[in-house]
Every structure is written in C-alpha cells, then in structure tokens.
Amino acid sequence: MKRLWLVLLMLFAGPAAAQDDPYQVLRSTGEGYAAVEPGRAFSFPADHLPHPDYRIEWWYLTANLKDAEGRDWGLQWTLFRQAMSPATDTEGWDSNQMWMAHAAITTPEGHRHEQRFARGGVGQADVRLDNGAFAAWLDDWSLTGEGPSVLPGRLRFSVGEATVDMQLGSDTPPVLQGEGGYSRKSAQGQASYYYSQPHIAVRGQIVQGGRPVALTGTGWLDREWSSQPLADNQQGWDWFSLHLADGHALMVYRLRHDDGKHWLSGSWVAPDGTARTLGADDIALTVLDTRRVRTPTAADPKAVRELPLVWRVRLPGLGREWTVRALIDDQWMGGRVPYWEGVVQVDGGAGGMGYMELTGYGR
Amino acid sequence: MRPAEPERLGGVLRALLSHYRRHPWQALFLLAGLVAGVALWSAVQVINSHARASYAEADYMLGAQATHWIRSRSGAGVAPADYIALRRAGFRQVFPVVQARVATADNAPLAIVATDLLALPTGDGGEALDEADLDWLAFIQPPYQAWYPAALAQELGVAAGDRLALHDGRRLPPAVIAAREQQGRQILMDVGAALSLLGREHFTALAVGAITPAEAARLVDALPADLQLEANQQRVDLTELTASLHTQLTAMSLLSFAVGLFIVFNAVRFSLWYRRPTLRTLRLMGVSMRALTLAVLAETLVWSVIGCALGLAAGYGISLALLPGMSATLQNLYGAVVGSEVLLDVRTVALAWALTLAGLALALAWPLLLQLRGPVIAANTAAAAWRDDARARRVLLVGAAGMVLLAVAVYWHMRTVVGGFVLLALVLFAAAWALPALLAAAQRGLGRALAGAPLARRWIVSDGRAQLPALRTAMMALLLALTANLGVETLIGSFRTALADWLDQRLGADLYVNSPRLDAPRFVADPANAGWLAAGHARTGVTLRWQGRPAKVYGLDTTTPDTHRLPLATAAPQALARWSAGAGMPPPILANEQAHYLGGLQLGQTVTLPADDGPADYTVVGFFHDYGNPYYQFYLPREALERRWHAVQPTGLALWLTPGASEAAAEAALQAAGVQPGEWSAQGDIKRLSLKIFDRTFAMTAAMNTLTLLVAGAALLTALLAILHERLPEFAQWRALGVTRRELLRVIALPLGLFVGLTWLLAIPLGALLSWLLIHDLNVMAFGWSMPMLWSPLPALKLGLLSAGIVALVLAIVLTQLTRKLPQAMAQLGSAS
C-alpha cells in the first residue's frame, strides 16, 4: 500500500490539528462517499482516469535511474486528488475537487523536492482524456499518455530550476494488488482500490544548471483510490517498491499498529508481469539501523528525526532475503504533509534498486 | 563639578519643582499643553508613516509580490482560459485578481478584492495555506466566505456569519472577521465567489509575482494579443500622488502642536511669576548661576520626558481612532490599500521628544534663564507686568510685520505645497503675534471713548489692562484655532458645492451602465430601444502614462447632450466646436485641470501622447474640471481616439430616457441585452455615492479641526484660571471694599468678552484669507482642482457661538473657584504681600 495518508488534508483539520496528527482525516468514516467493496471489475484504460465519487485518489510514479557513468538517480512525481465534500462534482470555480502534487529528484549531489496545490474544475489541474489521450497535470507538471492509457507516455516536471523530461513505456499489464485490486488495510474493513505498473522502462533527461544528463532506468506507477483508508489504531507505515536484479519486482508494506501487531501485505511480480499477493505470513520486515536525519518543515525548520533507513526484507515462503539501505539519508519531503521517501539500494546495489516510504515518525 | 554640587543641584531642583506641589494645576496645564500638542502631532506622524509603509507594500498583493500586471487592452478583463494557459505554460508566478466597487444597501462604497489563495505565489506554494486562521476549505467552496477587517466590520455593523446585502439586493458570502496582508479596507473573497457575485466571467487582471527579465520576456511572448504585461508602478505612483495629502496633514498637526505650545507658554508664564520669590531666595542664598541653570535644564528635561511619553500614548490612541477615516480617504482618492494596524516607530518617538524639548526650551527654559539674568530684586507689580507686556507686544508686533513681509516674498515664489504651508504658517502667526498689540489698542481706544462714563464702566474697561498680559497667549491660540477652523470650513464647503454642481452638470444622463457583456454602440442603435431611449453615450478609453504618471484618454461621442454641455474651467474661443470638428493641426484635445496645474500644460500648447504607432500630437483647447481624480485625463472625439489607438476599452454607457419613459423599461432592455443587475446605476445613486465618498474623505480634516479648537478652549481655561489665581488677593481686597460678586464677575467677564469678541472678529477675515489661499493656491498645487470660493457667514456665526459657549463654561468654572477660594483669601488679607 502506499501513501494513503498523504492526504491533502489539512483541508479538514486546521494546520495546528494536522501537525498533531496528519492522518486523522484518513480515519474518518468517509460517509457520503462511495465505499470500497471487494469484487470490483477493473477496466482499462478507463480506470486510469479519476473516480470522483471516492474521497481520495492518486497517481504515484517513482523511478530508479542511472546516468552514463553508472551513478544512481531517482525521481518521484505524484498527483493527489481530493474531494472536499461528498457532493457531485460541478465543473467551474464551485468544484469540490482539490489537487496536490509532489515532486522530488535524487541526484548524485543530493535530494530536492517541491509541492504544489490547485483547485479543480477550472483546468489548472486535472486528469482526463485530452483529444483521446490520457493527460494528468497541475500547472506545467504533467504525465501524458500517447493514447488513452498512461503508458506509453511522457512525464515532465521541474523541481526548482531542474527540469525532468522522461519517456515511459511498459510491456507488462497492470498488477491488481490485494484481492483483484481490493487492497485491505486493516482487519476492521478499511480498504482501497489499488493497482500498479511495476515494470516501466524510463528514458530521458534531467537538465540541471543548464546541463542535460541522459538517464535510463525502471519506474513504478501506483494507482489507488479510497474513501476511508486508515484504521484508528494505525500510526503510519513503511513501504517498499523494489526492482530486483533478476527482473522480479517486489512491493511490501507494513501499517504500524499501536499494539505492535502490524498489518503486512505485498506482492511478488515476475518479469513477465504475473503477480502473487503476499500476506502477513509471507513477509518479515526488520529494522537493522536507524539514523538521525534533518527533517525540516516550514513549521519546524530545525526538526531532526530518528528514521529506520536500513532494513532486512525477508520472504520466508520463497526463502529470499535482502538488505535494503537508503542511498542517501537526506531524502526528506518537508512539505505541508511531511514524510521520507527516497531511493534505496538492495544488497548494496548488486541486488537491485528501489524506493522506500516512511510515514508517521514523530520527532 | 565639585563633589558637593550634585547634592546641591538636587536641592535646587527640588526647590524649583516644589512649586508644582503647591500649584498642581500648573503642572497639569503644562502637561495638558505638551500632551495636546505632542498627541495630535504624533497621531498624524503615526498615520502618515503607516500609510507610507503601506505604499511600500503596494507591489504586494494579499501577501504575494506583484511586480507586474497582466491586463486586457480592450478592457474586457482576463479570461480564465488565458490564465490557465499561462499556468500550464509554467508561469506559476501569475495569479488572478478580481477587484470591484460595490455599494451597500445604504449606498456606502465597498471595495472587493478576490484571488485564488491556492494559486498565490508565496514561497513554496504551501504557505498561503499554512496560516492558522485560514479555513480554506470554506474559503474556496460555496457558500464561500467574505473576509472583513475588524474595523470595517464594525463600521458596517457586520458580525461573523452575516451576509451583507448590497444596494441591488445581492448578498455577500457569510462574513468572517479576518484580514490578510495588504487587504486594507477591502473585503476579501475567493475569486470564484467574486465572479459569481459580480456575475462576471473575466478577472480584472492577473498579478505577476517575482519574475526574472528573461522569464518576463517569455511571458510577453506567451500572452494572447489582447493581453499586455505592465510593470506595477503603484508604489511610485502612490508615494507621489499622496505626497500633498500627507504634507497637508503634517501642516495641520504642526498647527495643533503650536496651539499646544501656547498652553505651555501660558502655564510657564505663571510658574515663572510664582517662582520669582523662590529664585530670588535661592540666589540670595548663594546658589550659583551655573547650578540654577542646570536645575532649570533638568526641570525642562523632566517635563519633556513626561509630556512626550503621555503625548505619544495619547497620540497612538488618537491615531487608532483616526486611521479608519484616513484609510477611507486614501482608498477613495487614490485606491491605496492601507492596513488597519499601526506602529509607533523609533523615529516618531525621537522626533516627538525633540519637538517637545525644543518647544519647552522656548517656552520654559529660555524665559526662566532670562529671569535669572535679570536683577535679583525685581519690581513686582501689575504696572511692571503691563510695562513688560507692552514691551513684549511691541516685539511681537515687529515680528508680525517681519512675517508679513516674508509672507509676501514667499507668495511670489511659491511653487510647492510645502512652500504653500510655509506661507500659511507665516500669515497665521503674523496675525497671532499682532493680536496682543491690537487688543491693547482696542482696550486703550475703548478707555478713551469712555472717558466721561461712570466709574464702574471705566474701571471694568481698564481692568482689561491687568488681564491682557495673562490672556495674551490664550487669545493668540484662540485666533489660530478659529482662523484655521474657518479657513478649512470654507474650503470644504466650497469644495462640496463645486463637486455637487459639477456632478449635476456631468451626470446629466439618467442611467449609467458598466458591463463587459454589453455591446454599447449596438444597444444604442437598436431600434427596439427607440421607445424609451432619447440618447446614449458610449465612451471608450485607453490607459497610458504621461509625464510619468498614469493617464487616461477618453473617446467621447461629440453628438450627445453631455458632450454639448461639457463644463470647461478654461478654454480657447469656440473650444468645444473646434474640438468636436477636429479642426486644426495638430488636432484639438481637451485635458483635465490636473494636466494644467500639475502637468504644466498650457492652453494652446501641443501635448504629445504615446499612441499605438508612435507619438501623437494634439493642441490643448480647453481644460475641464475633474474633481476627485488624482490622474491626468484627456478627451478626444471617439473616432479621433480610435484612429491612433487600436485596442480601446469601452468605459461605460450613459443613457437618457425619453420624457415619461419608465426606468423599468430601460432596465428590462438592459437585462435582455445581457447586462446583470448591479451593472447599471441611476444618476441619483451615483451622486449620493460621490458625495458620501467626499464626506468620508474630509472626515479626517474635520476631526483635526475640532481637536484643534478643543486645544484652544483648554488654553483659554488655563489662562483664566491663572488670572484667577494670580489676582485672588486683589479680588479679595475688592470684596472687602464692598464690590459684589456680580460686579466682580462683570469685571472679569466684560474685558474677556471684549478680547474674545475682537479675536473672533479678526478670525473672520483671516479665515477668509486662509481659505482663499487654500483654494486658489494650495488646493490647485496639491490636487490640481480649481473651484470658486464660497464664503458664508454661517461657520463664523457657529464658531462665534461656540467661542461664547467656551467663555461661558470657563467663566462658570472660574466663578465656582472664586466662590470657593474667596473666603480664605479674604481671611488672609493683610497677612502677606
């Protein structure tokens, strides 16, 4: 699972309340919005487009890239949609849809990120078919498809003065997570619809300081929508998407519970795109090391957090295990909803590369 | 300094200050004078510097920088689609702004400002949302919110949650009492709320945040043909445009400081009088001049600190009270946005203290030191006082004559507003300084005229000799206050009349329409409207800069009734006919008076304006009145305008109804043509709104005027109480000789009445002179508006009654004091000198 908490959601709580607990909104009942039920039939390319009856939704893209000298780069680009009320959306200034976008690049020099906001209904941000082609955008950040599908497509955005322009393509079909795309988040019934595109070939360039750098690598797209994703006793989560050297892709996460009985889930995707859902018994996650990381936000520019940046990921059923380690410590997303998200190495890079997301860690 | 001296100095200082313990009312008056003077002066300083600080923020918009504006050449506003296209092209520093003026149900003007807070380029994009008091879900969602600054909400009587009704029945979103930076007296709402409230489809403009020259060039290339990028010069414009107004306020505050100083003079005079024995004793005891001088300086310092601190505190309070009026003035006149929170800065405090110290040095230290230098044992009689006073009067008279000469010299070389106020100050103070000599002469003359009259009458008149030295400064203060009051009253009255007449002439049409949706020429030409429509005037215009200031050129229809009767202040022969015909080379143009008086344009001169394809030359054939407009303005026949400027904007439509036609028919036709309710106004509504704006604009001046008069009243009271105190033994003697209380009161009241009456009489022509200077010179130099001066005896009579009231009140106080103190004074008769 991914990023559920990353909610635009100070919308509902004032900022002060949000700082106390940014996740509270995710635990509200979602009454009035469409409910997530098992047994939904997914349909592509239609499901790439928004589902405005649900409260929150995102298009979440990460990529592990290498330059000509073999150095590691990474990028993250996310578009969040949020319905501010259960009412039917009206186009125009009265629209109840809100958009937020996050972008980050990890370069050999370090990590940079940016956030943006826009209201829906007026065309400043949206996800829709544009002349028959998929288009998701907020201002000049965009993810566009050549046809009605996201892929093959193109990702363009900027972080500060650095601009990113990537071609995306994939030969494998989308992976429906959980039970046919119904992804359970707790024993109490919280769930989301969730599918991924784990094998995306990425090729393009990042222009930094006027200097273009050609990059190639592998990307991962997550699509998720829900109305009530978190349970009351869940504080945050640790999430991994790994591209392994043998061509497999692995997604595992744990939702941390107050009582230490965490909710674990994941999927094991073969190079040909066939996937197997992983349950709690299939996954073992162990923190090997924590690091003190500067985690500034606008409200708290001097904050430092103790974050678990080295992990052992074990799949006992498959007899496989890996050491996952942050490429650099400082990959902090210090926006309005702060979290750590960044490039990780699998077994020092020899086993593969990936992305890790850590949320809900207090100072 | 010898070791013993500090203690001795302390002793001397204590001896000097002990006077105030015995006569606490003198301390009170001294302080009252200082506080009154410093308070008004510092209040205006605080307001001025606050306004200037607001201008410095004029290139900020609701907390975001606005270095440039994107506006439509045609005046249609900016289409949201064009805005979105710019955002999607990566111009994230661009954000939408809707600004509008609406009127409340009782016709008070309201300014609305709207933007999309989510799009404001503040920092990393999230900051605008991080403000604790912002519930932006409610702000950007129906039914939306209308943010009122607290002061404005209070003025309008709006409480949180209220939906304020407008003149045309529309209602604003629910009220929230809150304000953002640079909101000023405007009501803030979401851009979606404003568009729906105003029935508009276009933004007023787009604001552009910080942008590099390279990005700006890219932005210009990205703009559609109808939109243009212009630098935001509001900061410069506002500073320049409002300079005169601030000078005027400073001048008024200095006047009240001067009036305050008169009270100090008064108080000091008596503290000097009373302390003569103390000083004499101290010197006879062998206290050195040096120690005495130091003690006097120390006393001055003490008073300056106390007076200044209290004055600043009071001034801060007054500035809070005056600020809403001042903000309204600035917003109405110049469109300047002035916030509602004020700060006392170090500069104001330091200046206030320096002024107090200088004033005290003049009023307290200098006379005290003079006294020290004088003979140790001085004559101490009324005759001596009169002799001293006569000498002082002569000195003042000579000074007055000098100031008159200087004033004449200044008048011939007066070019700036500051120069104008120097002239006014010279005239006022010359009159004030000449006043004591005049009053003494009148008293002498009256005495001679009554040479054969009964003793009582002669006695009463000649007692004026004993009162005049004490009343001198109070009378001078009163003259200043009365004159300033009359002068400003006449100015405001003349201005209001000129404005009302001008509105009557200019607003001849029945309905005024301002709608982006209306094709005005087609509407006027439509035969379907012939039934009710007698005439229609669709104006067009372009905004440009002339002589570094914003200027507007309007294109008028030369055939409509209002153009035929265009009131011109000055014009060449046959100006309107020549202008309509476009006869002559370069073609004729009309300019507003501002272009004449402030821009230096003369009748018959050629004016060059930046047209679309190069400079365009015109001959100025006339100047029209244009009250209330701080900008330059020109009129051309519409075709002439459209020949040289291609993207002219429609600037409104005036409609004349056929006699007997109903306004309802006109309104129905307008609505059928797509005009929304609220986009037209009836003639009467516009006039009422204009006069209301005028009255608000001068609210600040009127408040200052009243305060100054109050200070003068206080000066009079201090003087009379001083007289009472000083002469109490004398009065006791008279009572002992059998003079009744009634006769005693007459002795005090009649000379006082004579002096106040003469002062008031003198204030009438002086006030007229002052208003003449204000209207013919200062107003023209400051704003570029000329108007006929309308003198009326009413304000003078009103002030006469007010002065009489003050005198009566003061006499009543004096009488009760007299009743209370006489028995004791009589008991002490003969016991002391």
CB atoms within 10 A of CB B58: 20
Residue B137: list chain A partners with CB under 8 A: 11-12, 84
> Which range (A59-63, A141-145, B525-529) has the least confidence?
B525-529
* DSSP structure string for A167-226: EEE-SSPPEEPTBTTEEE-STTS-EEEEEEEEEEEEEEEEEETTEEEEEEEEEEEEEEEE
Substitution target in A12, A98, A119, A337 with the highest count of B β-carbons within 10 Å is A119
CB atoms within 10 A of CB B416: 13
Is B621 a residue whose pLDDT tops 80? yes
Substitution target in B91, B115, B117, B129 with the highest count of A β-carbons within 10 Å is B129
Q: B187, B204, B231 — which closes off a domain?
A: B231
Query: Is A119–B118 a contact, with Cβ atoms under 8 angstroms apart?
Result: yes
What domain range includes position B41? 1-58+240-378
Q: B646, B678, B710 — which closes off a domain?
A: B678
Inform me whether the C-beta atom of residue B613 falls under 8 Å from chain A C-beta atoms: no
The pLDDT value recorded for residue B244 is 63
Nearest-neighbour CA in chain B from A345: distance (Å): 30
Is B484 a residue whose pLDDT tops 50? yes
Tokens of A78: 């996310």
> Which range (A341-350, B158-167, B491-500, B692-701) has the least confidence?
B692-701
Nearest CA in chain A to B142: A94
Q: What is the mean pLDDT of chain B?
A: 80
Is there a domain that residue B325 lies in? yes
Tell me how far apart the alpha carbons of residues A293 and A320 are, in angstroms, rounded to a whole number: 30
**For the residues B243-257, what does the mean pLDDT come to?**
69
Nearest-neighbour CA in chain B from A95: distance (Å): 8
Tell me how far apart the alpha carbons of residues B27 and B40 are, in angstroms, rounded to a whole number: 20
Nearest to B127 among A16, A116, A298 (CB): A298
Closest of B688, B719, B689 to residue B806, by C-alpha: B719
Phi, psi (deg, nearest 5) at residue B398: -60, -45
Tell me how far apart the alpha carbons of residues A73 and B388 are, in angstroms, rounded to a whole number: 95
Confidence of residue B511 (pLDDT cuts 50, 70, 90): confident
Tell me how far apart the alpha carbons of residues A350 and B667 are, in angstroms, rounded to a whole number: 80
Tell me how far apart the alpha carbons of residues B172 and B105 are, in angstroms, rounded to a whole number: 12
Closest of B798, B794, B777, B813 to residue B709, by C-alpha: B798
Nearest-neighbour CA in chain A from B132: distance (Å): 6
Is there a domain that residue B200 lies in? yes
User: Regarding beta strands B205-208 and B68-72, do their DSSP bridges make them parallel or antiparallel, or are they unpaired?
Assistant: antiparallel
Nearest CA in chain A to B83: A124
Helix (H) or strand (E) holding A333: strand A332-333
Residue B80: list chain A partners with CB under 8 A: 122-123
Tell me how far apart the alpha carbons of residues A188 and A257 are, in angstroms, rounded to a whole number: 13
> Which range (A324-333, B626-635, B787-796) has the least confidence?
B626-635
B139 and B67 housed in the same domain: yes
Residue B126: list chain A partners with CB under 8 A: 115, 117, 298, 335-336
Query: Structural domain tally of chain B?
Result: 3
B194 and B137 housed in the same domain: yes
Residue B191: list chain A partners with CB under 8 A: 93
Q: Which residues contact B177 (CB under 8 A, 6 or more apart)?
A: B147, B148, B149, B150, B153, B158, B159, B160
Q: Where are the beta strands (DSSP E) in A227-303?
A: 234-244, 249-257, 263-269, 275-278, 284-294
The pLDDT value recorded for residue A12 is 32
Tell me how far apart the alpha carbons of residues B385 and A90 are, in angstroms, rounded to a whole number: 89
**Quick one: CA torsion of A76, A19, A301, A57, rounded to 10 degrees?**
10
* DSSP structure string for B183-224: -TTSEEEEHHHHHHHHT-SSBSEEEE-S--HHHHHHHHHHS-
Nearest CA in chain A to B133: A14
Closest of A134, A139, A94 to residue A115, by C-alpha: A139
The pLDDT value recorded for residue A289 is 95
B44 and B126 housed in the same domain: no
pLDDT tens-place string over residues B268-279:
666 666 777 777
Tell me how far apart the alpha carbons of residues A145 and A164 are, in angstroms, rounded to a whole number: 16
Phi, psi (deg, nearest 5) at residue A169: -155, 160
Q: Is the preceding omega at residue B586 within 30 degrees of 0, hence cis?
A: yes
Residue B130: list chain A partners with CB under 8 A: 15, 298-299, 336
What Rg value do the Cα atoms of chain B yield, rounded?
Answer: 33
Tokens of B369: 């030191």
Inform me whether the C-beta atom of residue B119 falls under 8 Å from chain A C-beta atoms: yes
The pLDDT value recorded for residue B123 is 56
Tokens of B662: 């109903």
Bridge partners (DSSP) listed for residue B628: none
Tell me how far apart the alpha carbons of residues B185 and B623 are, in angstroms, rounded to a whole number: 34
pTM: 0.66
The pLDDT value recorded for residue A334 is 87
Tell me how far apart the alpha carbons of residues B21 and B126 are, in angstroms, rounded to a whole number: 63
The pLDDT value recorded for residue B256 is 67
B343 and B217 housed in the same domain: no
Inform me whether the C-beta atom of residue B116 falls under 8 Å from chain A C-beta atoms: yes
Inform me whether the C-beta atom of residue B126 falls under 8 Å from chain A C-beta atoms: yes
Query: Is B129–A137 a contact, with Cβ atoms under 8 angstroms apart?
Result: no
Nearest to B84 among A12, A96, A123 (CB): A123
Specify the 3-state DSSP secondary structure of A131. Answer: coil
Nearest to B129 among A114, A117, A139 (CB): A117
B116 and B181 housed in the same domain: yes
Is B520 a residue whose pLDDT tops 80? yes
Q: How far is CA B481 from CA B436, B474, B488, B575, B696, in A?
A: 16, 11, 11, 44, 22
A interface with B, Cβ–Cβ below 8 Å: 10-12, 14-16, 84-85, 92-94, 96, 98, 114-119, 122-124, 137, 139-140, 158, 298-299, 335-336
Is there a domain that residue B765 lies in? no
Q: What angle do CA B324, B35, B431 make, to 5 degrees?
A: 95
Nearest to B132 among A14, A98, A119 (CB): A14
Query: Is A335–B130 a contact, with Cβ atoms under 8 angstroms apart?
Result: no
- Scanning B82-101 for CB atoms below 8 A from A yields 84, 87-90, 92
Closest of B261, B280, B262 to residue B16, by C-alpha: B280
Tell me how far apart the alpha carbons of residues A309 and A356 are, in angstroms, rounded to a whole number: 9
Domains, chain A: 9-25+46-358 (2.40.370.10)
Residue B215: list chain A partners with CB under 8 A: none
Nearest-neighbour CA in chain B from A94: distance (Å): 6
Tokens of A190: 């919280």
Substitution target in A94, A164, A300 with the highest count of B β-carbons within 10 Å is A94
Nearest-neighbour CA in chain B from A362: distance (Å): 19
* DSSP structure string for B623-676: EE--TT--SEEEEEEHHHHHHH-SS-EEEEEEEEEPTT--HHHHHHHHHHTTPP
What Rg value do the Cα atoms of chain A yield, rounded?
Answer: 19
Bridge partners (DSSP) listed for residue B542: B553
Is B104 a residue whose pLDDT tops 60? yes
Nearest-neighbour CA in chain B from A205: distance (Å): 18
B225 and B268 housed in the same domain: no
Q: H/E/C letters for each residue in B50-70?
A: HHHHHHHCCCEECCEECCEEE
pLDDT tens-place string over residues A234-266:
778 899 999 999 999 999 999 988 888 889 999
B43 and B79 housed in the same domain: no
CB atoms within 10 A of CB B168: 15
Q: How far is CA A164 from CA A136, A211, A220, B219, B403, in A?
A: 16, 12, 16, 21, 76
Query: Is A140–B136 a contact, with Cβ atoms under 8 angstroms apart?
Result: no
Residue A116: list chain B partners with CB under 8 A: 92, 125
Tokens of A347: 């077994």
Q: B326, B351, B378 — which closes off a domain?
A: B378
B218 and B310 housed in the same domain: no
Residue B195: list chain A partners with CB under 8 A: 93
Pick the more confident residue, B515 or A283. A283
Nearest to B118 among A16, A118, A299 (CB): A118
Helix (H) or strand (E) holding B297: helix B289-334
The pLDDT value recorded for residue A204 is 97
B78 and B223 housed in the same domain: yes
Is there a domain that residue B692 lies in? no
**For the residues B190-215, what does the mean pLDDT come to?**
90
Nearest-neighbour CA in chain B from A11: distance (Å): 6
Q: Which residues contact B36 (CB under 8 A, 6 or more apart)?
A: B256, B259, B260, B263, B311, B711, B714
Is there a domain that residue B147 lies in? yes
Pick the more confident residue, B262 or B287. B287
Query: Is B126–A117 a contact, with Cβ atoms under 8 angstroms apart?
Result: yes
Closest of B507, B553, B516, B490 to residue B690, by C-alpha: B507
Query: Is A10–B192 a contact, with Cβ atoms under 8 angstroms apart?
Result: no
Is B187 within 8 Å of B111 (Cβ atoms)?
A: yes
Is there a domain that residue B753 lies in? no
Nearest-neighbour CA in chain B from A66: distance (Å): 27
Tell me how far apart the alpha carbons of residues A268 and B226 are, in angstroms, rounded to a whole number: 57
pLDDT tens-place string over residues B221-238:
999 988 988 887 666 666
Q: What angle do CA B809, B814, B819 make, to 5 degrees?
A: 130
Phi, psi (deg, nearest 5) at residue A313: -110, 120
Is A10 a residue whose pLDDT tops 70? no
Nearest-neighbour CA in chain B from A49: distance (Å): 19
Is B229 within 8 Å of B219 (Cβ atoms)?
A: yes
Query: Is A115–B140 a contact, with Cβ atoms under 8 angstroms apart?
Result: no
Is there a domain that residue B166 lies in? yes
**For the residues B572-599, what does the mean pLDDT come to?**
88
Residue B435 DSSP class = H
Query: Is B137–A299 a contact, with Cβ atoms under 8 angstroms apart?
Result: no
Is there a domain that residue B498 lies in? no
- Scanning B265-304 for CB atoms below 8 A from A yields none
Nearest CA in chain B to A158: B90
Q: Which residues contact B510 (CB under 8 A, 6 or more apart)?
A: B655, B656, B657, B663, B666, B682, B683
Q: How far is CA B32 from CA B17, B297, B653, in A?
A: 17, 20, 57
The pLDDT value recorded for residue A74 is 97
B644 and B550 housed in the same domain: yes
Confidence of residue A63 (pLDDT cuts 50, 70, 90): very high
B83 and B206 housed in the same domain: yes
Nearest-neighbour CA in chain A from B105: distance (Å): 27
B532 and B567 housed in the same domain: yes
Residue B141: list chain A partners with CB under 8 A: 84-85, 94, 96
The pLDDT value recorded for residue B737 is 84
Specify the 3-state DSSP secondary structure of B362. Answer: helix
Phi, psi (deg, nearest 5) at residue B59: -95, 20
Nearest-neighbour CA in chain A from B144: distance (Å): 9
Residue A298: list chain B partners with CB under 8 A: 123-124, 126-127, 130
CB atoms within 10 A of CB A261: 11
Closest of A325, A321, A323 to residue A343, by C-alpha: A325
User: Regarding beta strands B632-637 and B549-556, do their DSSP bridges make them parallel or antiparallel, or are they unpaired?
Assistant: parallel
The pLDDT value recorded for residue A18 is 38
Query: Is B126–A336 a contact, with Cβ atoms under 8 angstroms apart?
Result: yes
Substitution target in B122, B136, B190, B198 with the highest count of A β-carbons within 10 Å is B136
The pLDDT value recorded for residue A8 is 34
